[in-house]
Amino acid sequence: MLHQLIPVTVILFVFVCMPVAQAEENEQSGKQQAAELNTTIPVQMNYLVYLPKDYEQKEKWPLLLFLHGAGERGADLDLVTIHGPPKLVKNGKQFPFIVVSPQCPKEQLWQPVELTALLNEVEKKYNVDKDRIYVSGLSMGGFGTWALAAYTPYRFAALVPICGGGEKFWVKKVKHVPIWVFHGAKDSAVPLDRSQALVDVLKKAKADVTFTVYPEAGHDSWTETYNNPKVYEWLLQQKRKPEAEVRAAEKKEEAERKAKRAAAKKKK
């Protein structure tokens, strides 16, 4: 007899609850209500990691995060070794820093939140010097470099975006970060202006930025860049500025801007 009553009880409970839920929805109809999302989104990312040959002899190492271009997207990590540092490592080159080279899924773009999750994981697993994390990328990875730096502007010691681009307001957040930009003058895939526009903003803000333009290069401005030992020498000279120091400088600049605006209004 009890087994027969249970289904009936469940059905009655559902019918009793449905009018209550519908009533609550009707009360909200036509109104704007506050709501909250609290969820965890899993991040799955394949990547290559290179550790210096004497990795165990030091407590911490600089880290270079390399972001490939659109042509290397997919689920085959061998594609990531076509260009840049992963290619050089594959061919036997030794670097005095950790190199992490993730792969972006096919038909997607680099997402700063996902790359941040990757860096958080890498910092836990390896002996990373958090004051010497560098980011470099080519083409789509160049765009990703700018975007990631703007997303976490106090995390990086230096940037090397190659034939990339982004929004002008992004770079204002990273003017305290040393940046070396590269682009080919004859690039038809990503016009030179995409880098030039960001460099102009940085120079106006008196940032530490260097812009190298290859007069005869097309879209491939990365091969010469990554083959240049001076790029890595320059990277290793860079160290992250303390966040408190940077924020204090930003606060001071903002106060000065407000004072100038106030003074200008008084003159009117």
Over the chain, what is the mean pLDDT? 91
- Classified as helix, coil or strand, 133 is strand
Q: Is the pLDDT of residue 125 over 90?
A: yes
Q: Is the pLDDT of residue 241 over 90?
A: yes
CA 126 – CA 94 distance, rounded (Å)? 18
Contacts (Cβ under 8 Å, ≥6 apart) of 76: 103
Q: Where are the alpha helices (DSSP H) in 152-242?
A: 168-171, 192-204, 222-226, 229-236
> What would the mean pLDDT of 141-151 be, rounded to a whole number?
98
Give the pLDDT band of residue 141 (cuts 50, 70, 90).
very high
CA 11 – CA 62 distance, rounded (Å)? 63
Domains and CATH numbers, the chain: 47-262 (3.40.50.1820)
Tell me what percent of the residues of the chain surpass a pLDDT of 70: 90
CA of 122: how far to CAs of 34, 238, 268, in Å?
A: 37, 20, 55
The model's pTM: 0.87
Helix then strand then coil, % of the chain, to nearest 5 = 50, 15, 35
| Nearest alpha carbon to residue 212 among 201, 221, 203 | 221
pLDDT of 22 reads: 66
Please give the DSSP secondary-structure letter assigned to residue 241. P
